[in-house]
Each structure stands twice: as structure tokens, then as C-alpha cells.
Amino acid sequence: MRFDVVEGPAGAATVLLSSGLGGAAAYWSPQLPELQARYRVVTYDQAGTGRNRFTLPDGYSIGNMADEVLAILDASGAESCHFVGHALGGLVGLELALRAPARLRSLSVVNGWAKADAHTIRCFEARLALLEHGGAEAYVRAQPIFLYPAAWLADHEAAMVVEDTHGVAGFQGAETLRRRIAALLAFDVTARLGEVAVPTFIVAARDDVLVAYRQSERLAAGIRGARLHVEPAGAHAVNVTEAKTFNAALLSFLADAG
């Protein structure tokens, strides 16, 4: 697995950033300048995407994704990290917190869940139907609807045209996408949330149309001592649309986590 490391200040703790279904390290661009000024930052394209495109095995799971993160930590020389995951990436973090808590200094989950509810399943079914009947271009063009607030989209149409072009050109492939969606829909740690014993930060947006913010409330309620931060707006990609507020909240949590 290829990954990138920015060393940051001498002796700084490592922050590892894990993206959502798109898988791209570049998703975290709004966070990188402030994080890199304070921490050693590791980013990577998830397996099957970007620079790490390869055929995923049958039965590919969130557990496999967690194994990939552990391998990246080993290869990068990090004994532990502050793990920050968005949606699917947050599920990977939850898996790591249960399987290898000594490797996590803290866990931050952005618009994630313990188990996909009926609404989120409906959304992914709709996206898969678009992929099957409309192809990659239809899937990519619809993706912003699930990520961003409507008003924000209207104000950033030019950027969305560029994002569409890049999304089609770098599309991870239909079979890869199906396997990654199957992995996130199969994930269920509802009964094990009480076992998470690392400092945990849960972030949500009330207007997220893909993952209801109540999923984050359930995570926070189930994880002992978890800190919950709910933005009134910002949608699924809240770290992009409300980057200033998100960054301040994340940095405050990381400082407290040590």
C-alpha cells in the first residue's frame, strides 16, 4: 500500500487520516495545513482506489481495511496514531479500536455509524442502481447530492464540474465499489461499543442526507466518555463545507487526547 507522510514538528504525534467511500487521500485537503503544522500526518488512498488500485478479494471487509491501516502504521514507523476517519473510514477506526487499541492514541469518527440503518441502506441501494443502469458518469454526477448541502452545491457549481471530471477519470471501478459498499453495509459493532476504550470524538452534521446524525448520537451514547460534536449544517462532507469550524473542534480534541 502506498501512503504519504508529512513529518511535522520534531517529536510530534502521528495523525492518520482515512477517507470515506471515495477512498482518496485528497479528501482531507481542507485539514492538512493545520494538522501538518502540529502533527506528523499520514494519508493514503484506500485499497482499490487511486494509487492503490488493485482487485479486491471476495468477502472484502472492514477488517481487511483495518489490516491495511496496521500495515501502513508499521511501514511508516508509527507505533500509534490519532486516527481520524470519515464515514467508511470511521468504521475502520472503530474496528481498530476494538482489535488493536494500543495502536490508537485517539479515534475520531465523522458521520459514521455502528450499523447502517434503513435510511442509509436505501441511499446506497439508490447509488448502486445508478451505477448499474447509468454507469460511472451517472454515479459520479449524483455523488455530490449525498455529500454537500444544496445551497453549498449551488454556490460551487464550477468546482463540482471539475470534481465530476476528476471523479470519472479516476473512478475506482464498478466491482471495487460494489465490494466496498458491501463491506460497509455488513459492518455491525452495535453490541461492542462499550468495549471501545480509547479517547473518542464523534462528529456529525444535522443535515447529512446519507447518514442521519442520530447514528452519531448512538455512537457517542455507546462509547464510554465519547465527545460528541454536531454541526447544525454542513452535510456528509462537513469537514469540507465547514472546514474552519471542523478543524477547530478536531484540533481541540486532539490536544486534549494528548
Here the CATH number for the domain that contains residue 159 is 3.40.50.1820
**Confidence at residue 83, expressed as pLDDT on a 0 to 100 scale:** 98
Task: Write down the pLDDT at residue 255.
Answer: 98
pTM: 0.97
**Which runs of E-coded beta strand occur in the chain?**
3-6, 14-18, 40-44, 81-86, 104-110, 200-205, 227-231
**What are the residues whose beta carbons fall under 8 Å from the beta carbon of 114, sequence distance 6 or more?**
94, 188, 189, 190, 193, 215, 218, 219, 222
Domain extent at residue 42: 3-257
pLDDT computed for residue 187 by the predictor:
98
- What integer pLDDT is reported at residue 49 of this predicted model? 97
Domain count, the chain: 1
Q: Looking at residue 36, what is its pLDDT?
A: 97
Nearest 5°: the CA angle 153, 28, 218 is: 80
Q: Dump pLDDT digits (tens) for 130-185.
A: 999 999 999 999 999 999 999 999 999 999 999 999 999 999 999 999 999 999 99
CA distance 86 to 123: 17
62, 113 in Cβ contact below 8 A?
no
Question: pLDDT at position 204, please?
Answer: 98
Count of beta carbons in the 10 Å neighbourhood of residue 80: 17
Cβ pair 97, 198 in contact under 8 A:
yes
Ranges of the chain with pLDDT below 50: none
- Judge whether 92 and 69 are in contact, CB under 8 Å: yes
